[in-house]
Chains A and B, each alone.
Chain A
Amino acid sequence: MAEIQIKNVAKTFGAYQALHDINLTIADQEFMVLLGASGCGKSTLLRIIAGLETATSGEVWIGGRRIDHLSPKDRGIAMVFQNYAVFPHMTVFENIGFGLRMQKLPKPEITRRVERVATLMHIEQLLKRYSGELSGGQRQRVAVARALAMEPDVILMDEPLSNLDALLRMEMRAELKGVLAESKTTAIYVTHDQVEAMSMADRISVMHQGNIVQSAAPIEVYRNPSAEFVASFIGNPPMNFLPASASSDGKWTVAGEEFDGPKSQRSPLNFAVRPEDLRLGDTGLKATAKVVEPLGAHLLVTCEIEGALFRAVLDSDLNIRPGQILKLSPQPDRVRWFDPETTLAVA
């Protein structure tokens, strides 16, 4: 059992507060993704769990054991770094077996484990090579294999795929997900790539300015963002926002159109809908098409509604020209409301 508990962890660098009172529990064998823009504190949090950084306050527990005072080697973790950190003066075999050698395991056991993870990561033919003779993708495989060979309670990954090219990244994403599910370790994965987060995670923690804004299953984060930041950060193109004013109880006026919304709320609110939840029809929001981008699978139309930018993802068979007036009707169950003052979602 390797449940991870992060209790009231905060970190300051001089006057700069990198993390504000983080509380997070990650279940045994869960795949948790920390998602956020650069500088949001996600890597700092990961490094605190790894022991490469010390929290200013707070506690970190792994498997019921408080570990924040231990050095990295005693925490039962293994880490995969963004720039691979494969030791250049060792062969692939020595790299993967390095941690096992440090644990003073018997040689046959080291060989057995190295060969097992090398096969798992499809690098068994590279074992005699040095890191200088490997491609970026191969180095990343070595780095993952080295972490897996430790058979850790927790595997920590700091943007492991961001140095790879797009195609390789997609391939490694699926492979890594499979390998980690099989290894039955708890995983924390830091990324700024929302596609990686959505496709790999059991749960996503969206971070912003040193806080965890929302921590939920990928589809929940996508459908029911808890704050405007999450709504605009996740999804490509991002969610659309329009100001709404209350017309009567439970009725809201958005750009001259009336929608059902939260009852007994003070005015005003922000109306939000995802671009793909819009349908072209005879009624709905009146939008002027500005830019039309055919993307093959669908048509991305950037419009203007009362001076505000508004995007719609429509069927690629439609013939829409810039300047055309469109009527866009949102699917009623997909409309979300946010309080512009707190930026939080309103039910």
Chain B
Amino acid sequence: MTDAVTTDTRADTRKAGRILYVASIVLLCAWVIIPIYFLLINTLSSPETINSFPRSFFPEFDLGSLTFFAGFAGMLSALKNSILVAGMTMVMSILIGAPAGYALSRFEFRGKGLFRMLILLTRAFPLPLLALPLAVMFIRTGLDDTAFGLALVHTTLAVPFAVLITFSLFSGIPIELEEAAWTLGCNRITAFTMVVLPLILPGITASAIFAFVISWNEVFAAAVLTIENRTLTAFLLQNLDTSPLHLKFAGGFILVVPALIFIFAVRKYLFAMWGIANR
């Protein structure tokens, strides 16, 4: 390749630019993919291989690490907690976020701009700042160390995204479709369920999955607010210095994979949220 460039006396700058472009892409992809790849091969190797040297670049498809992971005391219940909390977060953030998104997209009201800003501002407070007062409050109300309590915190983290994603989804549905439904015998609710909902259902699903991933990946609140009912992230964090290497790899892999798959599945709706054309 370098030969081709140097022998070309006309110094094809366009070609050079192209090579640079491709190289940058390869570098960026490698930056993201290589750690995940190492995670993958180490997860799919036996505990002995992981602790030996040199490392193999190819997985040996040994389920030893995963089996050990599954058998580790408390791991499965942590996984169950993670799914439970993420599921509740998903449902609550849509139930709260979607109506807010609809209101933002369809109605003009006083303080609409302020409302939108406040939604974003909820993300401006660092969680550690809120953790202590939250913990105290949760202990007083009996919400501490429960999946529901943690789901509440995760919902506050996920709601801004749910609002913004559904806002852009609803804005993409022409108001005339609803108006046509009203003139054809619908009231506001039936027009919504028969016309708007079927059209935004894929987007709502995407927004829900995004909320799920936010909760799934969250570690700080989970570590502070739970003791017995730890989620997977908090559980792994807790055992970080005591657990063997293969357990860390397997745990990391179990954490990364669902998030990766989900984000990949809903990427088009996340782009819509950032204002890139939703086609």
Contact = CB atoms under 8 A, between A and B. Distances in A.
Interface of A: 50-52, 71-73, 77-79, 81-83, 85, 87-89, 98-99, 102-103, 143, 146, 150
Contact of A71 (B174, B180, B182, B195): B182
A78 B179 contact: no
A102 B183 contact: no
A217 B264 CA distance: 62
B187 A73 contact: yes
Contact of B179 (A85, A103, A146): A85
A147 B177 CA distance: 14
A77 B190 CA distance: 18
Given A87-B195, A88-B199, A102-B190, A72 B182 contact: yes
For the complex of A and B, list the 5 residue pairs with the smallest distance between their C-beta atoms, beginning with the closest. A102-B185, A99-B184, A85-B180, A85-B176, A72-B182
B198 interface: yes
Nearest to A146: B184
Contacts of B176: 81-83, 85
- Measured as residues with beta carbon below 8 angstroms from the partner, the interface class of chain B is 10 to 19
A238 to B, nearest CB: 33
B182 A87 contact: no
Contacts of B182: 51-52, 71-73
A103 B180 contact: no
Contacts of B184: 73, 78, 98-99, 102, 146, 150
Nearest to A83: B176
Nearest to B199: A89
Q: Which of B174, B176, B181 has the most CB of A within 10 A?
A: B176
A53 to B, nearest CB: 10
Interface in B176-214: 176-177, 179-187, 190, 195, 198-199
Contacts of A79: 179-180, 183
7 contacts: A51-B183, A52-B179, A52-B183, A72-B182, A81-B180, A85-B176, A89-B199
B186 A102 contact: yes
B271 to A, nearest CB: 20
Contacts of A98: 181, 184
A73 B174 contact: no
A72 B183 contact: yes
Contacts of A52: 179, 182-183
A82 B180 CA distance: 11
A85 B174 CA distance: 8
Given A85-B179, A102-B184, A103-B185, 12 more contacts: A50-B183, A51-B183, A52-B182, A71-B182, A72-B179, A73-B184, A73-B187, A79-B183, A83-B174, A83-B176, A98-B181, A102-B186
A77 B183 contact: yes
A146 B185 CA distance: 12
B201 to A, nearest CB: 9
A87 B177 contact: yes
Contacts of B198: 89
B186 A73 contact: yes
Contacts of B179: 50, 52, 72, 79, 81, 85
Contacts of B174: 83, 85
B143 to A, nearest CB: 41
Interface string B236-256: 000000000000000000000
Contacts of A77: 183
B176 to A, nearest CB: 4
Interface in B24-78: none
Contacts of A72: 179, 182-183
A99 B186 CA distance: 8
A78 B179 CA distance: 11
A131 B83 CA distance: 40
Contacts of A102: 184-186, 190
B180 to A, nearest CB: 4
A200 to B, nearest CB: 21
A89 B198 CA distance: 7
Contacts of A150: 184
A220 B198 CA distance: 49
A219 B183 CA distance: 33
Q: Which of B177, B181, B185 has the most CB of A within 10 A?
A: B185
Contacts of A103: 185
A152 to B, nearest CB: 9
Contacts of A51: 182-183
A87 B191 CA distance: 11
B191 to A, nearest CB: 9
Nearest to A80: B180
A138 B56 CA distance: 62
A79 B183 CA distance: 7
